[in-house]
Structure 1
Amino acid sequence: MGVVNVVLFLSFVSCISPQAWNTYDYMKREHSLVKPYQGVGTSIPYWDFLGSTMVTSNYVRLTGDIQSQRGAIWNKVPLSVRNWEMQIHFKVHGRGKDLFGDGFAFWYVKEPMQTGDVFGSRDFFTGLAIIADTYSNHNGVHNHGHPYISAMVNNGTLHYDHDRDGTHTQLSGCVAKFRNLDHDTFLSIKYVHDTLTVSVDIDNKMAYKDCFTVNGVFLPTGYYFGVSAATGDLSDAHDIVSLKLYDLTTPDDDILEDRANIMPSALYMEPPRDHVDDPKPSSLSVWKQLVLLVFGVCAICGAVFIGGLFYVKHKEQQRKRFY
């Protein structure tokens, strides 16, 4: 009977369609962050923290709505999965109505746990960054709105140009108005068979909407996940509610090549362009400019008045010649 049962089971499994394989049932716990967060004391299993990060019962706050903060959370376990999806439940909110910033970034990089100037993490990184930029500085030649989500692949040699929103080195990007919403907001980063797809769920419809898709993206295994955020002169609160990593490997996948030692690259990444500085603003303060304006107006009026006096005197001299 035991042999018969095994044969029947194998026959049943062989009849299952590949489309029926539900990869979303396989969440990788060691790469995921879900409530309740607390482990022993204030620590969370598999995760480390940096900077201003604060853990509460409902969210992990990377920065508060306070100027000049940097915070990050980093996974301790290197990724061995070739095809994956990270779903981020997040919230960005603050008191600013027209001016706010700076934003947050999702990382899959070789060098975790390092602070820097790129949304709280290091520049010249090695790996993948998905950047959610909320600060509209109106610099550069781009004409997109904000908040703006973009992707960058780096081999450790490229500089993220914050003043140009990274548009000199991005793979692609889209505008996503995720800030100060009353409902839940989600970001999905999916990497399957060298294709990167970024989607958002920010319309309270419980469905992801494509932001962009880029083919020909080559990422190694063995790197680390993280999320960081930063504020500057402007600020926002950047909260992470959950991070869920799914293994998208399916039974019908062929044996995949070893990706442990390849260098991150992309076939269609925009080449770095020369940095073009914006016109230098006037060094004069508003009050000095106002004083100069008033002085200029007075000088013009004085010149007109003096010219009028000379004109009247000239006319009087002409009349005297006829008498």
Structure 2
Amino acid sequence: MLRDNLFCALLLIAVFLCDSIIGEGEYFKREHSLMKPYQGTGMVIPNWEFFGSTMVTQAFVRLTADQQSRIGGLYNKNPITFRNWAIQLHFKVSGKGKELFGDGFAFWYVKDPLELGPVFGSKDYFVGLGLFFDTYANQNGAHSHGHPYISAMINNGTQHYDHDRDGTHTELAGCEGKFRNVDHETIVEIRYENDVLSVGTDFESRGAFKECFSVKGVILPSNYYIGVSAATGELSDNHDVIAIKTFQLTSSSPSENDDRSHMLPSASQFAAPRPRIDDKPQSMSNLKFFLLIICVIIGIIIIAAVSILVFQRHQETSRKRFY
């Protein structure tokens, strides 16, 4: 009996270790991950806090439904204590809109837990990394890219994310990504290792990540929180999180254990900003022009009728005075 119990215990330990060590130098961190089934007791998700319009189902966590003026998000309650990490975000963006839809969602690695705000559902002037999945183009004029668009921003708390410019003047790097309204699961990997921030995508269900961008010289302190948020305005979409898988990466870098608690997030380079181009005055549609002509004609008729009545009364008054 004792042997059987010991064997079972060793088997469980072996299974746990195999599950935790995914690849060479990669360790799966359950306390920083979100996987099905999501719920613990009641409406609580272990290790996670959600807010706003977020709704938890058996198949996904919906940050916003395909409805106007919705904000939702969730964040991990445990800060990331290790310096090098990789996070795989499984998500789905869908909606009824064919031409117009939005606004998008964001992945966060930030100093403070997420709060409701104007930047894809979270607060502006954040400290840390924001990775934005923007589905609607606010920037006017010629773009060097299409939408949906994935872009990163490193902020030390002093920079404003400008929605009207799609964040172009504070963008670290970015790439296009056709992740909306696809039938299969879409995945993005955010990887931070030895001060290199890289993002890879799998939007074609190929089982391999395609590089979106890779930037050297990015400083991100540890003990920051991860989270995801989304927002809709006049345009809308479903923004769903299916899974978040977090891995600790081991590194041979001699500076891996350096104390970075006093540092602020920074980057040695940024993408070149595009100039803001004001909206051109919209040309009047045929319907509006037709209605305007009708209003002018009606106005002329009313003025003419009133003038005739005034003239007739003046004539009658003149005749009475004559007699």
Question: What TM-score results when the alignment is normalised by the length of structure 1?
Answer: 0.79
Distance apart, 1:128 and its partner CA: 0.3
Distance apart, 1:291 and its partner CA: 5.2
**Residues 166 and 286 from structure 1, CA distance in 2 versus in 1: closer, same or farther, beyond 3 angstroms?**
farther
Give the CA RMSD over aligned residues: 2.4
Distance apart, 1:180 and its partner CA: 0.5
Equivalent residues of 1:140, 1:164 under 8 A apart: no
**Aligned equivalents of 1:35 and 1:268: distance in 2?**
38
**Aligned equivalents of 2:112 and 2:284: distance in 1?**
43
Distance apart, 1:120 and its partner CA: 0.3
Q: Is 1:278 matched up with 2:267?
A: no
**Aligned equivalents of 1:44 and 1:295: distance in 2?**
60
**Aligned equivalents of 1:226 and 1:206: distance in 2?**
24
Q: Which runs of 5+ in 2 are unaligned?
A: 1-21, 297-323
Q: 1:107: which partner in 2?
A: 108
Q: 2:47: which partner in 1?
A: 46
Distance apart, 1:40 and its partner CA: 1.6
Equivalent residues of 2:102, 2:232 under 8 A apart: yes
**Aligned equivalents of 1:80 and 1:292: distance in 2?**
65
**Aligned equivalents of 2:222 and 2:175: distance in 1?**
27
- SS in structure 2 opposite 1:62? strand
Equivalent residues of 2:139, 2:166 under 8 A apart: no
Distance apart, 1:216 and its partner CA: 0.6
1:93-132 map, 5 Å: 93-132=94-133
Q: 1:23: which partner in 2?
A: 25
**Aligned equivalents of 1:204 and 1:211: distance in 2?**
16
**Aligned equivalents of 2:158 and 2:284: distance in 1?**
38
**Aligned equivalents of 2:278 and 2:286: distance in 1?**
20
Equivalent residues of 1:102, 1:119 under 8 A apart: yes
Q: 1:268: which partner in 2?
A: 269
- SS in structure 2 opposite 1:168? helix
Measured against aligned partners, the alpha-carbon deviations of 1:281-303 in whole angstroms (never above 9, x if no partner) come to 3597864444568999xxxxxxx
**Residues 38 and 155 from structure 1, CA distance in 2 versus in 1: closer, same or farther, beyond 3 angstroms?**
same
User: What is the total number of aligned residue pairs between the two structures?
Assistant: 274
| Aligned structure 1 segments of 4 or more residues deviating by more than 3 angstroms | 270-273, 282-296
- SS in structure 2 opposite 1:108? strand
Q: 1:149: which partner in 2?
A: 150
Distance apart, 1:249 and its partner CA: 1.4
Q: Which stretch has the larger CA shift, 26-35 or 253-262?
A: 253-262
Equivalent residues of 1:74, 1:225 under 8 A apart: yes
**Residues 76 and 295 from structure 1, CA distance in 2 versus in 1: closer, same or farther, beyond 3 angstroms?**
closer
Distance apart, 1:141 and its partner CA: 5.0
Distance apart, 1:218 and its partner CA: 0.3
Q: 1:206: which partner in 2?
A: 207
Distance apart, 1:259 and its partner CA: 1.3
Identity across aligned pairs (percent)? 56
**Aligned equivalents of 2:273 and 2:147: distance in 1?**
22
1:1-323 map, 5 Å: 22-24=24-26, 26-137=27-138, 139-140=140-141, 142-250=143-251, 252-254=252-254, 255-270=256-271, 276=276, 278-279=278-279, 281-282=281-282, 287-290=287-290
**Aligned equivalents of 1:293 and 1:196: distance in 2?**
59
- SS in structure 1 opposite 2:164? helix
Equivalent residues of 2:90, 2:185 under 8 A apart: yes
Measured against aligned partners, the alpha-carbon deviations of 1:102-143 in whole angstroms (never above 9, x if no partner) come to 111000111223111110011111110010001133525533
